[in-house]
Amino acid sequence: MKKYRLIFCLFLLFIFVLSCSSKAHHRRFVSTSRHKPVLNLMGYTIQAGAFKNVGNAVRLTEKLKTNYDLDATYFLAADKFFKVRFGNFKTKNLAKKRAQSLVKLNVIEEFYIVRPEDYSVARQRQYGTDYLRKSLVKTAKDFLGVPYLWGGSSPDDGFDCSGLTMTVYQLNGLDLPRNSRRQFDAGDYISKDNLEEGDLVFFSEKWNNRVSHVGIYIGNDKFIHASSHGKNIRIDNLSSDYFTSHYMSGRTYL
């Protein structure tokens, strides 16, 4: 009788261990199935130019990228001048030396070093994530009506959706990848019902499941994007027939 009791106890112990192991495995699976997205922070960046004509900002941007292998972008600043930011340096001294070398080559005239603490992301700890999200939306809205000519010098060249999202994030201190598919991979999945301001929304063509377009969610079922159809930066509704049928996924980075 004691022998059977021992066997029964060992059997219960085996079931208990197996159950705990299964739960532990499930916990491991849950914890790794979603990751906290981590974007690199922008370092020291060079800002140059103050152009009334967007074409001048575009030409400087392209020159820095093509001739000097510098990651550059342009934007409309609060003073209504188009300005160019480029580079991503670990120290202020490295950024200053690079800028001074470009002055000597007559590529730029004057410059300003943007510090990491100047970005909105640096104030996130003090003011909270909502502050950063609203800053991303404000930056995106500043591009409305701006002829955003990524990789081109005339409106006929069209726009690049992922160039817009990258620029908006970089201007707030987050080094978002350049390519839309890499942007998709860098973020964490967020359901359509749980989208928040500053999240990115991705779209695909009907015949495949690959990323073909990206925009910045601004709340109330709306997003800002560089539309290849209208060739301008605009606000559209996620619930419209076209974007509903092409919607792929949302991604968050905060």
User: Block means of pLDDT (10 residues each) for the chain, length 254 residues?
Assistant: 51 45 34 55 96 90 94 89 95 98 97 96 92 96 74 47 91 92 94 97 86 95 80 88 94 95
* 225 catalytic per annotation: yes
Contacts 24+ apart (CB under 8 A), 49-56: 49/74, 49/81, 49/82, 49/83, 49/84, 49/108, 50/77, 50/79, 50/81, 50/82, 50/83, 51/81, 51/82, 51/83, 52/81, 52/82, 53/82, 54/82, 54/146, 54/147, 54/149, 55/153, 55/154, 56/82
Give the pLDDT confidence of 63-118 residue by residue, as tens digits: 999 999 999 988 888 898 999 999 999 999 999 999 999 999 999 999 999 999 99
Of 228, 127, 224, give the one whose Cα is nearest residue 169.
224
Domain 44-118 falls in which CATH fold? Alpha-Beta Plaits (3.30.70)
The answer to whether 45 and 88 are in contact (CB under 8 A) is: yes
Give the pLDDT confidence of 54-65 residue by residue, as tens digits: 889 989 999 999
Out of 25, 213, 229, 246, the active site residue is 213
Out of 20, 161, 229, 246, the active site residue is 161
Per-residue pLDDT, 160: 76
Q: Where are the domains of the chain?
A: 44-118, 155-252
Judge residue 87's burial from the number of C-beta atoms within 10 Å of its C-beta, 0-12 exposed, 13-18 middle, 19 or more buried: buried
Out of 26, 225, 229, 246, the active site residue is 225
The answer to whether 78 and 114 are in contact (CB under 8 A) is: no
In terms of CATH, what superfamily is 155-252?
endopeptidase domain like (from Nostoc punctiforme) (3.90.1720.10)
User: pTM, whole model, 2 decimals?
Assistant: 0.79
Per-residue pLDDT, 18: 43
* 9 catalytic per annotation: no
* 161 catalytic per annotation: yes
Query: What type of residue is 101?
Result: S
